Amino acid sequence: MKNKLSSIRLILVIMSLFLYPSCGEDFLQVKPLGEINAQNFFQEEKHGGWAVNAIYNQLRSWDMVSFPYLGMTDIVSDDAVKGSFPADAERLNAFDDFTYDSRTPEDIRQTWKGYYQAIFRANIAIEGIPKIPKMNENLRKKWLGEAHFLRAYFYFNLVRWFGQVPLITKPLTQEEFYTQQRAAVEKVYDLIKSDLNLAISSLPLKSALDAADLGRVTKGAAAGLMAKVFLTQRDFSNASKWAKEVIDSKEYSLFPDYARLFRKEGENGVESLFEIQATALEASWAGATPFNMVQGVRGSPNLGWGFNNPSDDLVRSYEPGDPRRDATVLYVGEVLPDGSGVIEDNPSMENERYNQKAWVESHPGLQDNGPGNIRILRYADVLLIAAEALNELNNPSEALKYLNQVRQRARGTRTTVLPDVVFTDKLTLRERIWKERRIELAMEQQRWFDLVRTDQAEKVMKNVGKNFIKGKHDLFPIPQTEIDLSEGKMAQNPGY
Amino acid sequence: MIFRDNNKLFRQSLFIIYAIMFCHLNAFSQIRVSGKITDEKGEALIGVNVLVKNTNNGALSDLEGKYSLEVPDKQVVLVFSYVGFSSKEINLEGKSELNVILSESVELLNEIVVVGYGTQRKSDLTGVVGTIKSEEIQKFASANITQALQGKIAGVQVVSGSGRPGEAPIVRIRGTGTLNGASPIYVVDGLILDNIDFLNASDIASMEVLKDASAAAIYGTRGANGVIIITTRQGAKNTKAQVRFNAWQGVQQPAKLLALTNAGEYGLLVNELSNKPVFTDLNALGSGTDWQNEIFRNAAFRNYNLQISGGSDQMTYSISGDAFLQDGIIRSSYFNRYSLRINNTYQLASFIKIGHNLSYVQSAANREPGGIVFNAYAADPTAVAVDADGKFGNTSVLSNVSNPVAQLKYNAYNRYGGQQLAGNAFIDIHPLKNITLKSSIGFNSFMNKSKSFEPEFYVNDKQRNPESRLFVGNSQTSDWQWENTAVYQKDFKEHRVTLLTGYTVQSRQGEFLGGSRNRLIGDTEDFYFLNAGDAQTATNYQGANTPERYESYLFRSNYAFKDKYLLTFSFRRDGSSKFGSEKRGGNFPSLAFAWRAKEEPLLKNLQGLSNLKFRVSWGILGNDKIPTGAAIPTVTNNLSAVFGPDEALIFGASLVTLANPFLQWEESRSLNGGFDIGFLDNRLTAEVDLYHRLTTKILVPVPIPDYVGSAGNPYVNAADVVNKGLDITLNFQNKEGKFNYKWSVLGSFIDNNVISLGSTGNALRDVVINGDFATLTQPGYPIGSFFGYKVAGVYQNAEDVKTYPNNNPVKPGDLRFEDINADGIINAKDRTWLGSPIPAVNYGFNLELSYAGFDFNAEFNGVYGNKILNAKKMFRGFGIPNFETSFLNRWNKDNPSNTDPRITNGGYPNFVVSDYFLEDGSFFRLRTLGIGYSLPENLINKMLINSLRVFARANNLFTWTKYSGYTPEVGSENVLQVGIDRGIYPLSKTIVFGVSCHF
């Protein structure tokens, strides 16, 4: 018995040696489950398309199309006031009053952040797509063209808002996080133009787009944006060259009915060069933007939050009988464009009128499920760019041709309003074209850029009683957090 | 690969260690010894621990004081130990019956403490281990047992992050060593866990906190933030069934309510900051609605626990059931937990024991409506909660928040809970004298469910839901761990050696699945299933967490010479799947030495001095608490775009965050020196430890500039941090006749300093509040220090505005900041270090008294020297939220204050980060106050009850603090974000009454 026990013990001792095994070579090598990671991304053709779609996706984010965007375009300009109840998002009054600073309202930082996240996605695509081992080369070219166009669009807005900005053209590594400096404005424009050139040479014409690709950017969009870039830089000959390239392509025309242009039927229509695409799905809000909600009628009918209200000054500035006023502004007592209701007076609202261009027909889901495409660049804008540039180039007759095309469409079948403009002198015509831009593109987030670009901001804002300081308010402040993180490598804009 | 090669070497050395062990092959047989243990008065002592010296072979005395156990031969030494009595070591000298008389003592040195992968006599410890026993753990009425550590062990800081029922507090051991995931790990009966929410206080036999590197190094990469070892109750051999029943119930209420402006005061302030008056008749407003009153309640909670334990000479058992039922102080919230535990051991043969510790837990809880605490803080007091017609008041017009009372009706269904099965099964083999082999399989498996429902409702345009909606989510996690250890123990005359080697692997894996639907066909709970919703509105998700795997080898040797000089060496090699293959392995050695000076001839006979021991230790520990995937970024799906005439959603995916493939272990090297001293038969004892801990390559998600474009902050090995500290514990206990008393004082002093920040530059900034980073971490300062403007006064007039020019426009009545750099203009460069969120001192004071059947105890704890940023007060959001009453001290024409600014609603300078919002976080709290009465034995013995105690206990009764928030204990899991009060679920004070009996 004792021997037996001893031998059992001996066996146990020997067995115990095997209690020190080693798991297989792969035990510590785990893979993420249900996910692709950086190591196996950009290995297949479809990954390139995904990465480009992800850039478009960012265009619909809160940071890029709601308070931050509207605050830094319409509300800050003479076209609109904050809107909603006095106490609601009171911080946005800083845009109306020019009291914003490097910290508040936080919307300025949200814009900065949202745009750089969009640039990050563009850079990921631009860096990754050329690495895809095997794919259709036409597709590769087209997708790269789209990514370059979108990056140019992002930088164009950034440089107009902030002036010198860090020029990030690839995903940064840890050593590069804190060492970036603000690039000279010229350098930023150089990148924008080279990106647009690449887009122009790689993208199809709008008419050559597959139906399923409707809404993707095209050669025409890139050429149109190029015209605007040159106009902003006051390079009028290039501005007119690129605007006329668009015009002469015959790819675009003016949508006959100005009011209907901003409804669903006008989306991606004959006039459209570039729109942020959105849709209201039933199950989720994955296709929506907050753009319609934040500007929607507040109260009854309950369509939104009621921000970004057209200002008294804008309403006053229309020529008598200009039908574009009623197409741009929704008033209390007005029947909604689709006849679905009447806007009732909401006593809590100040200055109660709404941006009709952001109004949308009824759609699935709540007001959060905003389906409206956001018009970024349309043919009328290009015509006015051409008109402005040609006038500066002392070609008033051609300028008038384009200007009057815009007025004619606005006029429609009415004969007593908006007569054609006739030439008097270059200076007067310049003012006329600027005025036409304001009216034609009112509440389309263009006004602020035009005011600063044409150096009218100080005069115009003082006229409406705003404390605009020249040399300061032409640019927005760089977020304090960025300056702090750069440990002084980034300087603040003057005056902040 | 590096790891692999070393493995081989390591296994070879293990073999050699084995070989040494086998040199002492010695078969032995078993002999039974029994006897009776009594105290000096001859009364039987129950539950005395009888142990064959230097083995794990032991038994407990039964109700008659009798014990019985098998010993290998009749020459062994038996060790008899019992709390409150002097231990005795007696050589059997051939006897088979041994009756023992133990004498009462306050000598605690032979107490057994649990250490990593084993136990040790407290007197043999070389490292720093704090112990807390079951009675202490049960004193604090809480769902989470870590609450019991508060103020009990020097160097352990417990912060109740929130008073939400069932929520775990934040635990820090010896300060904040790391920037990220600074929480310790928990080892429950050998099973390594991050979370011990499932344990109930009655099941715990002891908790030991391993504080220094020598004690914790055996846990290698997991041990850098300290280790808390938890041992659950076991039955004792050869004892009759012991039945313990505990029950208490009580009530909780908010420990404090905030001072907010009432309707009239709010109206006054709103009028002052608006261009034209909003309220025309302030007097008509009255006091309005007190929203805090509307959401808080006196909430009941109760706990019932039944435990039966015992054993024969073949087995031991302990079975317990527990129900913990807690309503939250916010209406609608509750947390109920039911648990069952079975801890058994079976002696299969004299040299083989198997056993298991199994626990099954079921929990069902409801979370308060989202944001309700903040909404009650911010809601417009001029709005009614509910009007006479039953309509909810509109709090959205001015204050722009949801009506909290309406939320209690419409957003109150937020269920969560689930089932957890955790435990282990083990086998102990004692094949040869001196050798013990142990293999243990542990597992921890959760199934969690959550369900929330929102009916269709309309309160106002902003607070409404046009379609009912149901969300459900299920997740399951399964962890397993396999541990194998071999222990060799041998005395060679004056030398005592214990060697331990081990191999462990651990794996964690989890999956989740959920979805939502709208337009349910019914509004009551029996319809809360996805199938009852409209399929057209369905959403779903399912995924898996990246598995986490660990593989480790460990080794430890303890050596004692003459029981005076004690030496411990330990080593652990760890591999973790969280890191890239280049950085996978880590080595963690430690060394410790202790000298029991009292045993030296010079001191041995010194009257009065009963203990003196010096300790010194050094070791390296690691920390790998980063999310899996931090080293390799994953592609984010569903970044879809809309294209085509049908406006179809076209799939998109991309990388949106950066990751860092070069991540590696964070390491901490610590040095500890200390002594234990005892006087007057150890009635007075002190433990003093001084430590220095350098943590290098700290893993942290570093805030990076927004222009980088990453949607999240990548982890980097960023900084080196030093924690220097002093932990002191003093205990005194005495007895005069029937009067027993005991007090203890403990304090820990911490100095936390950042040494360098490596590649991240000169500073780390975090927590953006109103456009500024509120914390700054830089060399020479504590982690997460507050950073901002210093208030110099208030601009009194236009003259002042000219005299103290500010870069931004300011008006009379605005805060005037100090021109720190004295360049004549106040701008962003004038922000400066404002204070530390880390207390310089944590202290506690405990008192226990007993007389005849009565007992009384009081526990105090506090912190000193930290600041809190009252961030909830800085938030002005989308509307005009309610104000704290301190805003009534505002500057205006009638009150030219030089400390409080004019009333504004956000913006520079009055609402940016400045010391105006920084408050003193020091506090002193009466944490526990308890009284109890044990019924006289002659009375209860007739009822067949051994003991019966009734008690009353109050927790968090008083807090003395200058801090204005709900509680000065404001924690955060992220150490760059500590001490920022954004409005939390308030702490509650509680009173409970209970009974505990023992049959």
Domain boundaries of chain B, sorted by first residue: 30-239
Q: How many CA atoms lie within 13 A of B947 on its CB side?
A: 12
Compare all CA atoms of chain A with the CA of B542 and give the residue at the minimum distance. Answer: A34
Cβ burial of B608 (10 Å; 0-12, 13-18, 19+) is: exposed
Tally A–B CB contacts below 8 A.
317
**Whole-angstrom distance between the N-terminal and C-terminal Cα of chain A?**
94
Q: Which residues of B touch A49 (CB under 8 A)?
A: 652
| SS3 category, A287 | coil
pLDDT for residue B39 = 78
Give residues with Cβ within 8 angstroms of B301, minimum separation 6.
B141, B165, B249, B250, B251, B252, B324, B325, B326, B327, B990, B992
* Model confidence at A4: pLDDT above 80: no
What is residue A160's three-state secondary structure? helix
Looking at residue A14, its pLDDT comes to 57
Q: For strand B791-794 and strand B815-817, is the pairing parallel, antiparallel, or unpaired? A: antiparallel
pLDDT value at residue A254: 97
- How close B814 gets to chain A, by Cα (Å)? 14
Is the four-CA dihedral A259, A262, A264, A267 of positive or negative sign? positive
User: Rounded distance, CA B993 to CA A18, Å?
Assistant: 54
Q: B160 and B987 in contact (C-beta within 8 Å)?
A: yes
Domain range enclosing A130: 43-203
| Range B30-239 has CATH code 2.60.40.1120 | yes
Give the per-residue pLDDT at B19: 43
Placement of tokens 């922000």 in the chain: B831
Instruction: Give the Cα separation of B480 and B482 in Å (integer).
Output: 7
Mean pLDDT, to the nearest integer, of B34-39?
84
Q: How confident is the model at residue B296 (pLDDT cuts 50, 70, 90)?
A: very high
In this structure, are residues B203 and B309 in contact, taking their beta carbons and an 8 Å threshold? no
CB contact under 8 A, A19 and B437: yes
* pLDDT above 80 (res B225): no
Q: A297 is written with which tokens?
A: 């009628």
For residue B429, what is the nearest residue in chain A, using CA coordinates?
A12
* pLDDT computed for residue B24 by the predictor: 40
CB contact under 8 A, B654 and A279: no
**Residue ranges with strand state E in B789-922:** 791-794, 815-817, 832-835, 841-851, 854-864, 867-869, 918-920
Q: Say what angle helices A45-58 and A107-128 make with each other, to 10 degrees.
A: 170
Most confident of A115-124, B113-122, B428-437: A115-124
- Counted residue by residue, chain B has a size of 999
Is residue A80's pLDDT more than 50?
A: yes
- Whether B319 has its CB under 8 Å from any CB of chain A: the answer is no
Q: B927 and B861 in contact (C-beta within 8 Å)?
A: yes
Tell me, what DSSP letter sits at residue A75?
I
Give domain status of residue A160, yes or no: yes
Find where tokens 């609109």 sit: A80
Using an 8 Å Cβ cutoff, are B98 and B77 in contact? no
What is the band of B695 on the pLDDT scale with cuts at 50, 70, 90? confident
- CA B369 to mean position of chain CA atoms: 25
Q: Do B771 and A103 touch (CB under 8 A)?
A: yes
DSSP bridge partners of B81: B49
Q: Would you give the distance in Å from CA B202 to the centre of its chain?
A: 18
d(CA A73, CA B982): 32
- Do A88 and B639 lie within an 8 Å CB cutoff? no
Separation of alpha carbons B993 and B953, rounded Å: 6
How would residue A332 be classed by pLDDT, with cut points 50, 70 and 90?
very high
Give the contacts of B732 (CB within 8 A, at least 6 positions apart). B683, B684, B685, B742, B743, B744
A147 domain residue, yes or no: yes
Nearest CA in chain A to B511: A33
Q: Kindly determine whether residue A287 and residue B4, on different chains, have CB atoms separated by under 8 Å.
A: no
Nearest to B659 among A38, A104, A479 (CB): A38
> Helix, strand, coil shares of chain B as percentages rounded to 5?
15, 50, 40
**In the beta sheet, which residues pair with residue B617?**
B592, B672
The residues, any chain, with a CB within 8 Å of residue A190's CB and separated by 6 or more, are none
| 8 Å CB contact of B549 and A27 | yes
- Average confidence score pLDDT of chain B: 87
Confidence of residue B516 (pLDDT cuts 50, 70, 90): very high
pLDDT at position B51:
83
Of A28, A121, A215, the CB nearest to B584: A28
pLDDT bin (cut points 50, 70, 90) of residue B488 is very high
DSSP state of A233: T
Contact B551 A17 (CB under 8 A): no
The pLDDT of residue B461 is: 81
Residue A395 within a domain: no
Query: How many angstroms away from the CA of A432 is the closest CA of chain B?
Result: 36
How confident is residue B22, by pLDDT bands cut at 50, 70 and 90?
Answer: very low
Token pair 């054993």: residue: B311
Taking CA atoms, B914 is separated from B766, B790, B984, in Å, by 15, 6, 21
* B908-918 mean pLDDT: 95
The residues pairing with B224 across neighbouring beta strands, listed in sequence order, are none
- pLDDT digits 0-9 by tens, A345-371: 988 888 899 999 999 999 988 888 999
Pairing relationship of beta strands B841-851 and B66-71 according to DSSP bridges: unpaired
Q: CB distance from B34 to chain A under 8 Å? A: no
- Per-residue pLDDT averaged across B185-191, rounded? 88
Mean pLDDT over B621-625 rounds to 79
- The pTM is what? 0.85
Residues of B within 8 A of A165 (CB-CB) are 707
On the question of pLDDT at B179 being above 70, the answer is no
pLDDT tens across A248-293, in order? 999 999 999 999 999 999 999 999 999 999 999 887 789 999 999 9
Widest CA span in chain A: 125
Least confident of A144-148, A269-273, A298-302: A298-302
Give the per-residue pLDDT at A82: 95
Domain count, chain A: 1
- The DSSP letter of residue A209 is S
Report the C-alpha gap between B605 and B517 in whole angstroms.
80
CB nearest A287 (choices: B545, B647, B768): B647
Q: Which of B579, B584, B708, B826 would you mutate first to test chain A, the one with the most A CBs within 10 A? A: B708
B500, β-bridge pairs: B487, B556
Instruction: Identify the bridge partners of residue B519 per DSSP, sorted by sequence position.
Output: none
pLDDT category at B433 given cuts 50, 70, 90 is: confident
Residue B10 scores a pLDDT above 70: no
Is residue A450's pLDDT more than 90? yes
CA nearest B758: which of A171, A177, A182?
Answer: A177
The rounded percent of chain B whose pLDDT value lies above 70 is: 93
Reference B442, options B371, B370, B376, B355; nearest CA is B355
- Residues in contact with A26: Cβ distance below 8 Å, sequence separation at least 6, in sequence order: none
CA dist., res. B578 & res. B713, Å (int): 17
Q: Where do runs of H (alpha helix) occur along B329-430?
A: 372-378, 404-410
Mapping DSSP to helix (H, G, I), strand (E, B) and coil, where does residue A353 land? strand
CATH of the domain at A162: 1.25.40.390
CA dihedral B379, B383, B384, B390 (to 10 degrees): -100
Choose between B473 and B153: higher pLDDT. Answer: B473
Residue from the list B546, B708, B878 with its beta carbon closest to the beta carbon of A30: B546
3-state secondary structure of A67: helix
Inter-chain CB proximity B655 and A38 less than 8 Å: yes
Residues 805-824 of chain B whose Cβ lies under 8 A from any Cβ of chain A: 807-809
Average pLDDT over residues B689-704: 85
Are the C-beta atoms of B619 and B587 separated by less than 8 Å? no
- Shortest distance between the Cα of B757 and any Cα of chain A, in A, equals 13
Whether B28 contacts B57, CB under 8 Å = no
Task: Measure the CA–CA gap between B803 and B796, rounded to whole angstroms.
Answer: 11
Give the chain A residue whose CA is nearest to the CA of B878.
Answer: A89
pLDDT (tens digit per residue) in B862-908? 999 999 999 999 998 788 999 999 999 999 989 999 999 999 998 89
Cα–Cα distance measured from residue B172 to residue B842, given in angstroms and rounded to the nearest whole number: 11
Chain A contact for B707, CB < 8 A? Answer: yes
Across the range B276-296, mean pLDDT stands at: 92
Identify the band that residue B25 occupies on the pLDDT scale cut at 50, 70 and 90: very low
Other beta carbons less than 10 A from residue B762's beta carbon: 12
CA–CA distance, A485 with B761 (Å, rounded to integer): 9
Q: What is the pLDDT of residue B106?
A: 47
**Confidence at residue A457, expressed as pLDDT on a 0 to 100 scale:** 96
Mean pLDDT of A478-493: 91
Q: Counting beta carbons within 10 angstroms of the beta carbon of residue A489, is it exposed (0 to 12), middle (13 to 18) or buried (19 or more)?
A: middle
Minimum mean pLDDT among A59-63, A280-284, A340-344: which range?
A280-284
The predicted pLDDT at position B628 comes to 66
Q: Residue B271's closest chain A neighbor by CA?
A: A87
Q: What is the CA radius of gyration of chain B?
A: 31
Phi then psi for residue B398, to 5 deg, are -95, -55
B652 touches A54 (CB < 8 A): yes
What distance in Å separates the CA atoms of residue B683 and residue B734, rounded to the nearest whole number? 6
Q: From the candidates A1, A9, A182, which should be mutated to test the interface with B, based on the most B CB atoms within 10 A? A: A9
Q: How far is A383 from chain B (nearest CA, A)?
A: 26
Q: Is B703 touching A (CB cutoff 8 A)?
A: yes
Grade residue B453 by pLDDT with cuts at 50, 70 and 90. very high
Q: Which segment, A272-276, B694-698, B728-732, is predicted with the most confidence on average?
A: A272-276
For residue range B916-950, list pLDDT tens digits in order.
999 999 999 998 899 999 888 788 777 778 888 99
How far is the CA of B843 from the CAs of B371, B457, B746, B751, in angstroms?
33, 51, 6, 15
How close is the nearest chain A Cα to the Cα of B477, in Å? Answer: 14
What letter would DSSP give residue B153? S
Min mean pLDDT across A260-274, A424-438, B365-379, B731-745 is at: B731-745
Write the pLDDT tens digit of every residue in B629-653.
677 788 998 999 999 999 999 999 9
Q: Are A104 and A94 in contact (CB under 8 A)?
A: yes
Count of residues making up chain A: 496
Tokens standing for residue A213: 């690709």
And the tokens for A215? 């809404």
CB contact under 8 A, A178 and B4: no
Which chain A positions have a beta carbon within 8 Å of B14's beta carbon?
Answer: 20
Q: Do the beta carbons of residue B838 and residue B970 sit within 8 Å?
A: no
Query: Which residue is listed with tokens 């070591």?
Result: B89
Q: Which residues of B touch A9 (CB under 8 A)?
A: 27, 351, 431-432
A37 → closest Cβ in B466, B548, B632: B632
| Closest approach of A153 to chain B, Cα-based (Å) | 16
As a whole number, the mean pLDDT across chain A is 93
State the nearest Cα–Cα gap between A479 and chain B, in angstroms.
Answer: 7
Is A280 inside a domain boundary?
no
Mean pLDDT computed over B797-812 = 93
CA distance A152 to A228: 12
pLDDT score of B973 more than 80: no
